[in-house]
Amino acid sequence: MARLATLFLRGCWLVLLLGAGLARAQTPDAGPGVAVPNAPGLASPPLPPRASPAPMAPAGPAARQLSRTRSLKIDVEPAGRALVRRLHPRATVPDSLTALRTVRELVLALQADAYLTASADELHWGRDTVRVRLYVGEQFRWAYLHNGNLGDGLLTRAGYREKFFRRTPWHPADWAALQERVLTEAENQGYPFATVGIDSLRMSGRDIAGRVVLKRGPAVYFDSLQIVGSSKTKKRFLTKYLQLTPGQPYSQQRVAAAAALLRQLPYVRLRAEPEVRFAKNRARVYLLLDERPSNQFDAIVGLLPNSNGASGVQFTGDVTINLRNLRGGGKQVGLQWRKTDATSQLLDASYLHPNIFGTPLEVGGTFNLYKQTGNYLTIRPRLQVSYPTARAGRLTFFAEQRSSRLLLDSAAYAQLGTLPNYVDSEYNSYGLGYSRANLDDLYFPHRGLFLSAQGGVGTKTIRRNASINEALYDGVALRSTQYSFSGRAERYWALGRQGVLLVRARGEGLFNQQFFLNDLFRLGGLNSLRGFQENQFYTNAYGVGTIELRQFTGPEGYVFVFADQAVLQAYTFTTTQRSTHALDSPTGLGAGLSFRTAAGLFQFVYSVGRSEFLNTTFSLTNSKIHFGLTSRF
């Protein structure tokens, strides 16, 4: 009768607890063991009896007696023995605190497994043994859990399926997870103060039935954005970029995503997470933003040995201008000119316009021009549309045209007996790109991950040159399908307080049945494969792996050592023979430093390279030195 009375009281307690009202989504943890929301508090078992004081006893033996290891013996009814064994409780305990914690975790684990009335009824402390009388009880289960007032759409998005709550064990963690998902959906639909609970609760033996009900509370709408700090970025741009439109229902998901989106902007510094203040059914979002110098002017000068065997050196140049956040609206303009050697020049221009037509879409355009004096000229315009998100990264659709034409004079063409390594061609392609950045700092990252990938497909057309004998085009596919792929992955690890390890892998591939040299990628130099001249390799497919160790000496200064290892299909050519190619694995090693000066960020890199295809080894005579100054304003 005593046991039946105890079970009746516990059952009444469970009914009162489950029907006590609505539960908040944030449920308290039941203790150091398994989290059991809405589970009864476990009364601590009695402490071991205190030994009578012995004034004259030596301290050492007494201390050893108090810390004596005891065996933990658990007495449980036969039906629950197999369940307790599966939980693997400790067989010995070094002290009384560990014994109490072990028993408590055991009871919580049973309750989390739907044995809601499990308890430790008695503890007996012996000289070498702690004996526990454990009551397991019956496993409670759902009879059913019906939809109360939530609506089928909300429950479906929350992951509710009625079959999951019919004749299945009543796990408190499952119920708490459903509460969280329902409230997450509610707070993303304009009800941040919603609560959820069980109504019409019924118990029949160990079966529990009820309806899940939601009290939405007041509907809340976005009011406005407030910028706190020195940032000059306009609120109108940030409102559209973050999709926090005044008058729209409040969404906690968008507020949480705002910080990640703001960290992707190079011209603002986020001082703290966005804050939200509620008043009169309105939510005002405060952004703590400071202005960050992002406009960039780079001028890099390189010294290289003459490639024609003559004594002396030759100069290369790289000038870059980037203007970001024009007039506070997020627009960006870029221009870059590079002179890689005595016969080659490159020009890049770009423009980015965010929030086109008031949408979160970004429209951008790029223009690339590459000229090799006396050989060919290639231009490549590109138009793209991007959709940036906080969680899924940035998705881009692009259309690109690549056109190349020969620059030789007509007399030189007429004397050719074979088709030259350069031809007039055009390649129109379409494709998709994806990128995702999770870096703690865009300019000087210490930790994080960056990923990007791109793929395109299009039609390549070879145009006959009127000055070249048409018979030389026999056997050449004038129209074909061409595929292109590229990818890049970077991972940064913080080593100690100032050390950073960078591991990077990047590559590109161009796939077609035939290639000419003005179709190929150019690899080599400071921005691709250090230790070699700019654009020294011609290739249709390559991969470069980099390991770089940086030691920061200040917020924007560091010294570094690096190793670049590439694998590529290298091409070579002469004016009288068609191109030949072979697999090569060049290596670049070096070190450098970067530090802040009054005029800007000074950079110095020293590197050497080795390549079997070029028949070069690590040598001081073939070393490369690059230095330059980067100014941000």
Determine the Cα–Cα distance for residues 113 and 104; give it in Å rounded to an integer.
14
Sequence-distant (6+) residues with CB within 8 A of 457 are: 429, 430, 431, 481, 482, 483, 484
For residues 330-339, average pLDDT: 91
pLDDT tens digits for 559-570? Answer: 999 999 999 998
Residue 341's alpha-carbon distances to 298, 534, 566, in angstroms, are 18, 7, 22
pLDDT tier at 308, thresholds 50, 70, 90: low
C-alpha count within 13 angstroms, C-beta hemisphere, residue 222: 24
Backbone angles phi, psi at 611, to 5 degrees: -150, 130
Q: How far apart are CA 196 and CA 180, in angstroms?
A: 9
pLDDT class of 312 with cuts at 50, 70, 90: low
> Which of 424, 175, 321, 356 shows the shortest CA–CA distance to 630?
321
Q: How far is CA 431 from the centre of its chain?
A: 23
pLDDT of 276 higher than 50: yes
CB 303 within 8 A of CB 315: yes
Please check whether residue 386 is in contact with residue 352, taking contact to mean a CB–CB distance below 8 angstroms.
no
Q: Confidence band (pLDDT; 50, 70, 90) for 41?
A: very low
Single-letter amino acid code for the residue at 284 = R
pLDDT score, position 545: 97
Provide the 10 A C-beta neighbour count for residue 49.
8
Give the residue with greater pLDDT, 600 vs 326: 326
Confidence of residue 8 (pLDDT cuts 50, 70, 90): very low
Q: In this structure, are residues 102 and 93 in contact, taking their beta carbons and an 8 Å threshold? A: yes
User: 311 falls in which pLDDT band (50, 70, 90)?
Assistant: low
The predicted model gives 484-504 an average pLDDT of 95
Asked whether the predicted pLDDT for residue 478 surpasses 70, the reply is: yes
Distance CA 205, CA 190 (A): 40
In the structure, what pLDDT confidence band is assigned to residue 60 with cuts at 50, 70 and 90?
Answer: very low
> Which residues, including other chains, have CB under 8 Å from residue 300's CB and lie 6 or more apart?
317, 318, 319, 526, 603, 626, 627, 628, 629
Note the pLDDT of residue 25. 37
Task: With cut-offs at 50, 70 and 90, classify the pLDDT of residue 21.
Answer: very low
Reduced to 3 states (helix: H, G, I; strand: E, B; else coil), residue 616 is: strand
**What is the C-alpha separation between 494 and 491, in angstroms, rounded?**
10
Helix (H, G, I), strand (E, B) or coil at 209: strand
CA angle, residues 425, 486, 337, in degrees to nearest 5: 65
Residues 536 and 568 sit within 8 Å (Cβ to Cβ): no
pLDDT in tens, 134-185: 999 899 999 998 888 887 777 778 888 888 888 899 999 988 988 999 999 9
> Binning pLDDT at 50, 70 and 90, where does residue 410 land?
low
CB contact at 8 A, 227 and 235: yes
The pLDDT value recorded for residue 417 is 75
Cβ atoms of 180 and 212 within 8 Å: the answer is: no
Please choose, from the candidates 439, 442, 564, the residue with its C-alpha nearest in 3D space to the C-alpha of residue 503: 564
Distance CA 338, CA 102 (A): 69
Q: Would you state the pLDDT for residue 354? A: 93
Q: Residue 489 CB: number of other CB atoms within 10 A?
A: 14
CB 353 within 8 A of CB 364: yes
Query: Each residue of 342-382: pLDDT tens digit?
Result: 778 889 999 999 998 888 899 999 999 998 877 889 999 99
Per-chain mean pLDDT for the chain: 83
How many residues would you count in the chain? Answer: 633
Structure tokens at 39: 């589970």
pLDDT classification of 79: cutoffs 50, 70, 90 = confident
136-140 contacts, C-beta under 8 A, 24 or more apart = 136/76, 136/77, 136/79, 136/80, 136/83, 136/84, 136/110, 137/7, 137/80, 138/206, 139/113, 139/114, 139/115, 139/169, 139/206, 140/114, 140/115, 140/116, 140/169, 140/170, 140/206, 140/207, 140/208
Residue 46 has pLDDT above 90, yes or no: no
